[in-house]
A and B are shown apart, each in its own frame.
Chain A
Amino acid sequence: MQNVVAQWYDPNPRTFSKAQRGHTTLLFGGLTAMHDSLIEAAVSALGYRLQALPCPDRDALQCGKEFGNRGQCNPTYFTVGNLIKYLIHLRDVDGLSHEQIINDYLFVTAGACGPCRFGMYVTEYRKALRDAGFGGFRVLLFENAGSLHQSESDTGLELTASFFVTLLKAAMLGDVVNAMGYRIRPYEVVAGSTDAALEECRALLCAALRKRRGLRHALRQCRRRLATVPVNRLQAKPKVSIIGEFWAMTTEGEGNYQLQRFLEAEGAECEVQAVVSWVLYSIWEASYDTRERMLLRSEHPTGRRHWEFAPLQRLLLLRLGRVVLQRCFYRYAHHIGLAGYHLPDMDELARIGHDYYTNELRGGEGHMEVAKLIQGVTQQKAHLTLSIKPFGCMPSSGVSDGVQSLVTARYPEANFLAVETTGDGAINVHSRVQMALFRARQKAEDEYQAALQATGIDGEQATTRLAMRRRCCQATHYPTHQVAGTAANLLYELARQ
């Protein structure tokens, strides 16, 4: 019945042995520059040659589009293209041979997450590598569960608890340093002084991570350095909470048209989501599913009485993981001076979002986007909630935005804007952001005026009072949350004191 015809299959090379570790560079990337450099330092200390790829730019996007499938979302194009672009550079500029690149480099990335395309990125990496002439290049994928897809027991990349703890520590450090930066930069008196201080922080933390000691000391040094940045927080600036698709809201390059910097240039203060929130969400998902399934009646009962300990064990481990993660994060936050920062309570988010976006719906950020918008409004967290996602993002622009239209109808005071990115046409996105910022500015100004009235102090008195309180003048001091705007919060604080 069958003619003898050739059939295609994907060789999917994944071998990485201990012996190869010495001469193999593990490429990775995809978070912020701060995260990437801290992870590089931390994991290098474990004996790996780890190298972060540069932040993806438009050339990376072009590369991704040239060698990737048509119709993908732009995080795929940016991240896949970034790897190809780097390998092309190794080949064409650094003069490495094909064999050298294949033998001495590999790429490590996270995968999984199910229904979103993110779970299928590695397919795209292989396709693009093949078509770009790098067939045989290894892409290693570690799932959230922690298992590495590797056939040999002689694994070059040992996914031990120590490895993941190191990775998470670096990610959390990145989160706290970035959060400090976003709190200080909009109010800096001397342009560029925050970035200069953050650079020094990065060097201090990387050094500590490489030495694998002195982290607390380094964080305190960072705090002291950041405190020296002169700031003026009595400026009524709109606070913009950035939510949306994970990569689009995290990257700081062309992938989101440098949105954070654009917002700051337009006079806004950004509130970005911590990378560790995503880990907490994954933990919440696993706990939720375990609870939902553990008491199901079997369709084919065994007919004997028995006990199952595995679900309990799993729940306890997940809970332990969550607690350790949160404590670790808050300790770092405390040392660096990130006061009043709260990681999202996943159970609360699930509760808030459930009526609109069922908790069982997964992929992307699930119910988190919807819940964060509601929380942002009810708890006065921001003047504008900006949801950024790639063009055609399935969970975010396909579902969340539809549900958000109901949320904004129920919460008319919400100032919400959803924007899609494609990597090109920045003008459209910037224009839409400016459109929403207009209202946010008005809200911030109104809020500030209300604070002046409520406290009974005028702008001059506020400046005088502030000058008398040295601690409050420091960049590391962030007024306690009462309303969305930082300046208004500072006024209330000054009035209280």
Chain B
Amino acid sequence: MRANVDNGPVIGIDVGSTTVKCTVVDPATLAIRWSRYQRHEARQAQMLAQMLEAAEAEYPALKDGAGCAFITGSGAGPLAEAVGACFVQEVNAVTLAVEQLHPEVRSVIELGGQDAKIILFQDDPVSGARRVITSMNDKCASGTGATLDKCLLKTGMSHAELAELHFDPERLHHVAAKCGVFAETDTVNLIKAGVPPGEVMNSLADAIVMQNLLVLTRGNTLQAQVLLLGGPNAYLPFLQAAWRLRIPQTWAERGYIPHNDKHPEACIRVPDNAQYYAAFGAVVFGVQTAGEPLAYRGAAGIHAFIRDGRRARLGEMAGPGLLKENDDLEVFRQQYQLPAFHPPALPAGTCVGGYIGLDGGSTSSKAVLIDEQGELLAKTYRLSQGNPIEDARMLLAQLRDQVSTRGCQLEVLGFGATGYAADVLDQALCADANLVETVAHMMSAQRYCGDDVDVICDIGGQDIKVLFLQNGVIKSFRLSNQCSAGNGMLLQAMADQFGVALHDFADVAFQARLAPRFSYGCAVFLDADRVNFQKEGFSREELFAGLAQVLPKNIWQYVVQIPRLAELGRRFVLQGGTQYNLAAVKAQVDYICARVPGAEVRVHPHCGEAGAIGAALEARRQVAQHGQSRFIGLESAIHLEYTTRTDATTRCTFCDNHCTRTFIDTRTPQGSTSRYIAGFSCEKGTVESRQAVVALNQTRKRLKARYPNLVDYEAEAVFRHSYKPVPLPATGSPVDDEAVSRIWFGHGPVRRRPVHRIFVRSSDAACARRAELRIGIPRVLNHYLVAPFLRTYLESLGIGSRNIVFSDQSSEDLWLEGGKYGSVDPCYPAKVTLAHIHQLLHAKQARHPLDVIWFPCITHTASFLSHIMGSNTCPVLAGTPKVARAAFTKERDLFAAAGVAFIDRVLNFELTALLRQQLFETWGEHLDITMDENDWACKQGWAAMATCDHNLETRGRALLDKAVADNRLVLLMLGRPYHNDPGLNHEVLEEFQALGYPVLSLRAIPKDPAWLQPLFRDDLRAGRIADVFDIRDVWPENYSVNSAQKVWAAKFAARHPHVAVVDLSSFKCGHDAPTYGMIDKILATSRTPFLTLHDLDANKPGGSIKIRVQTFAYALERYGQQLAVGSEGITMPHHTASG
């Protein structure tokens, strides 16, 4: 081996998910003599062959067997043998390279196309031995370089512009980088709100940096020197700048001084050849390790692999291609190829009146012109170039030109907008209609395919919308959520990555005779699969075919989640820009026809512009209704001038969040101006003056008074001092107790005997000490349930009510400030607890020092349900205090440093006797209390809980009684206790409150059996349940206390005609997942209107929430109208956003 290494040049190869890197290294000096870096566009083998040929031409000795090769990277596996190269895992390769080249470096951050890696070198202070800690992102955070690429497509910026982009920390907007798809969704929303592309990319870079610091460091501090490696870090200066901003911030927070003489930023650097470190490291491995190398086969070996080796290996893993044996592609094309649009002839020289509809979609913008009869006169399409106003101007000009080239003049009678950009266009152009996309698509499908359509399936770049119709109206619908978004975009990005024009996608895909079987689901996971299949050697034709085949699975199995498709009807309409891709259509048609006997699948003749047509139709309706149009006029719109501004003057100052806002000012040629404000996180951001904020607050107060929101109320009420505990009995008061022991020297049965004794109080000194003690409790998780108990327990023992300090409600700022300790990535409600503890340790501590932070592990809670198998809390929630302790004591005991004791002992609220014991073990010594005092405090705690429940139920009862009396709807929030936190429910319920719906919380549902009995009468009579709180008829395996209560509340809503439901669930909620289908069945069978918002996470996907809220509001309004007229057999529309 060493002879080979010493005898000739050594090649280091790195085959990544998007690029191939190749280096030739001198084994004696380890100097890089030659290198190449190139995107492989899914042709890794071919690209590598080219590179090796170039290397072999430069170093002919390689061909004579003098050299050897080492290969690394995610795509290296199958090529290793073909090249004759030893495989080295990429993190190990990078580690070796850094150890060799930069022994002073302590932290490495390498970003690749799919993977992010952090390597930490720590020296043991005792032994001096160096320890290497490595971590790679999990699947949810994958897609670093790939995410940048996809978002770049949406902004319309070029790679050259990106390389020149300057990082401006003052103009950052919120982007979630937890996952590539989440980031894309946020990016689309920002772009469509008019935020300049540069700011969007900077925000994305900052978000990627923050995500890596929050999660990938696993709670470790990155120590200086820090090396930034990998393609994105090497080529994108704004990304480097983001690291240089954020890493020193974490150093400052943790009191770490990187270097006495250097500015912190100078300790973070990008070396030359940062993109080649893995390839170089593979060589270092070869040189340092005494293994037996393979005989170098080089480019010839790769060519042989391409020629012979691939297909034989793939047969078992693949399924058939898009075309089956008996399929006739031409027949299919004839049936589904959309005919070219031939605009109708217009009488020359006339003035043509028409309505314009504009759909500002995620990746493209579309506009149509219809006449007064609704006939399509012209249409146009444009890939989004960033700013929606610019897109709209160009589209309108194109429509005008299409008409004028036919010798006519266009008179716009009305203008309607839909899609992501609808709000900004509404404001800037004074639209007659601002229509939610779902309704726009329904109107359009019915216009072209008739009222008897059963299912409309729209696949846009970002969203999937599936509408189910009955008697010509929406019966229910499903929308992709964050985790199922980006499917259309994935096809586009894939085509782009492989260097194929999108309109050639189908032709390429149809060539495949076999196709890899993708696992459907999240687009990021699909991309990970794609890398895997590329590694296995699938060609781009096969990958395209496989991707097309997985699309229907994503739609029908992941988003729609109705396995028996035939239940939905027979007539399906496919629309959305993705339907121009015949490969996608073929996969869809095959999928539907295999499951629905006699299915009729049609493609909307103007599938890409379907939404725009709907908007135009609605504009026509609105103008007819109001008698005139608000539209600013075609020429004014085309010549509209606009400016976008994000700076200190646009920042919102009406609360502590200080949101970065963008002002988009428009000016018509006539001089009239308007302003659209983007980037705010609450409605205060929509205004500019104090007076306007005051007016907003007043309106808000009126709304709150008229339509109470008990979720908000409960979120505050449970933490307030609202119960005055009965003072402790005096010493000497009689107590009836029992003595418990085991006989037979402590090994026998249990003996219980009554004891009559006197109440024992602690000393006056202990009482005085308790009065001074300050205890912090994070306002998180099940504390939203048991806070009255926790507070009252402490107050009963003499802790001042002002000395019990809860952290604030969750917010973006709180999270960003204190969320960087995480070593795991569970649901957001669990993760955000670290930020709450950070706040208690810093902000709250700074105001008035705390003595203790109490964060008990709550394993069980009390439940009002009967016949349950358990009342366990979720294991993540129960264990999170332990994770918090680990995070805050891992490198240094931050509690001790702050002079705070952290108490996380287990509490079981199901078994009161056990709880009493646990509390005494927790606090006995700390508070210096007697057992009698502890017992008394427990009693007071339970009394406070009962009072709190009673108060909430009384309010709930009043709300429901009023709804029945007024024949109106109440919205019930189905959620876990912590979903009352506005930072976790994203204030969705306030949006409904603003629409005039009072909101009921689960805890506020009256639990009076007599009151509930009529609702459950039939179930009781049928013997399916033993009492009104029994849920065994729907869920016998009801261990999870919060999920079981959600299921019961769903049953309640299903039986109460004046209750509609908003069902919230957080991303990764393992206890909610088993109930999804059940709650859907319960509410769908009873035809209760419901909106499910699953996979809630740290980010607030504004656009996606908006479309759900608007569509559900549309459905609720219709249901409310039917309720008001008291029609029998109401067809209740329901909505679920599972996906």
Contacts and interface: CB of A to CB of B under 8 A. Distances in A.
A132 to B, nearest CB: 7
A423 B879 CA distance: 26
B752 A306 contact: yes
Interface string B876-912: 1011101101110111000000000000111010011
B882 A357 contact: yes
A115 B782 CA distance: 15
B1039 A120 contact: yes
Interface string B608-642: 00000000000000000000000000000000000
A331 interface: no
Contacts of B1033: 9-10
Contacts of B74: 427-428, 431
Interface in A1-59: 1-3, 5-10, 12, 58
A425 B529 contact: yes
Contact of A117 (B822, B1035, B1073): B1073
Contact of B882 (A295, A298, A362, A399): A399
Interface string A66-80: 110111110000000
B134 interface: yes
Interface string A415-430: 0000010111111100
Given A297-B738, A425-B525, A426-B532, A312 B911 contact: no
A425 B136 contact: no
B882 A438 contact: no
Interface string A121-139: 0111001000111000000
10 contacts: A2-B1056, A7-B1019, A71-B1069, A71-B1073, A119-B1037, A297-B738, A312-B742, A405-B823, A425-B139, A431-B89
A296 interface: yes
B823 A12 contact: no
B1056 A292 contact: no
B557 interface: yes
Contacts of B406: none
B729 interface: no
B532 A427 contact: yes
A278 to B, nearest CB: 16
B859 A361 contact: yes
A261 to B, nearest CB: 16
A4 B648 CA distance: 59
A412 B1086 contact: no
B1070 A435 contact: no
Interface string B67-108: 000000010010000000000011110000000000000000
A117 B1070 contact: yes
Interface of A: 1-3, 5-10, 12, 58, 61-62, 65-67, 69-73, 111, 114-117, 119-120, 122-124, 127, 131-133, 149, 292-299, 301-309, 311-312, 356-358, 360-364, 391-395, 397-403, 405-406, 408-409, 412, 420, 422-428, 431-432, 434-439
Q: 4 tightest CB-CB pairs across the interface, nearest first?
A: A399-B879, A402-B883, A363-B875, A406-B886
Interface stretch (B18-26, B192-200, B351-359, B1074-1082): B1074-1082
A399 B883 contact: yes
Contacts of B553: 66
Looking at B1070, B1073, B1077, the one whose CB has the most chain A CB atoms below 10 A away is: B1070
A120 B1074 contact: yes
A422 B89 contact: no
B interface: dominant SS: mixed
Interface of B: 74, 77, 89-92, 115, 122, 124, 131-134, 136, 138-139, 142, 218-219, 517-521, 525, 528-529, 531-532, 535, 553, 557-558, 561, 563-564, 736-738, 740-743, 748-754, 822-827, 830, 857, 859, 869-870, 872-876, 878-880, 882-883, 885-887, 889-891, 904-906, 908, 911-914, 916-917, 964, 1014-1015, 1018-1019, 1024, 1033-1037, 1039-1040, 1051, 1054-1057, 1068-1078, 1081-1082, 1084-1087, 1094-1095, 1128-1130, 1138-1139
Given A69-B1074, A70-B558, A438-B89, A398 B879 contact: yes
Contacts of B885: 406
Given A70-B561, A115-B875, A308-B749, A10 B1070 contact: no
A294 B749 CA distance: 9
A437 B87 CA distance: 13
Nearest to A433: B89
Contacts of A311: 749-750
Given A127-B1078, A301-B738, A119 B1039 contact: yes
Given A10-B1035, A307-B750, A297 B737 contact: yes
Contacts, number: 334
B877 to A, nearest CB: 9
B882 A308 contact: no
B875 A312 contact: no
A427 B138 CA distance: 12
B882 to A, nearest CB: 5
Contact of B916 (A61, A299, A302): A299
A436 B557 CA distance: 36
Given A294-B750, A297-B738, A424 B519 contact: yes
Nearest to B1041: A115
A134 to B, nearest CB: 11
Contacts of A401: 823-824
B882 A358 contact: yes
Contacts of A434: 89, 92
A97 B693 CA distance: 68
B1070 A73 contact: yes
Given A131-B563, A292-B914, A398 B875 contact: yes
Given A294-B750, A363-B875, A422-B139, A398 B824 contact: yes
A420 B857 CA distance: 25
A66 to B, nearest CB: 5
Nearest to A289: B914
Contacts of B883: 398-399, 402-403
Nearest to A391: B139
A117 B882 CA distance: 20
Contact of B532 (A119, A358, A412, A424): A424
A361 B876 CA distance: 10
Contacts of A436: 134
Looking at A120, A402, A408, A427, the one whose CB has the most chain B CB atoms below 10 A away is: A402
Contacts of A426: 532
Contact of A305 (B753, B872, B1068): B753
Contacts of A292: 914
A212 B495 CA distance: 63
A206 to B, nearest CB: 29
A424 B913 contact: no
Contacts of A67: 563
Contacts of B528: 424-425, 427-428
Given A61-B519, A427-B535, A438-B89, 4 more contacts: A7-B1055, A305-B754, A392-B1068, A394-B875
A326 B824 CA distance: 36
A3 B1130 contact: yes
Nearest to A303: B754
Contacts of B89: 431, 434-435, 437-438
Given A7-B1085, A364-B875, A412 B124 contact: yes
A20 to B, nearest CB: 22
A123 B751 contact: no
B889 to A, nearest CB: 7
B318 to A, nearest CB: 12
B1034 A405 contact: no
Contact of A6 (B743, B873, B964, B1085): B1085
A309 B749 contact: yes
A7 B1086 contact: yes
A409 B891 contact: yes
B777 to A, nearest CB: 19
B861 to A, nearest CB: 12
Contacts of A119: 869-870, 1037, 1039
A131 B564 contact: yes
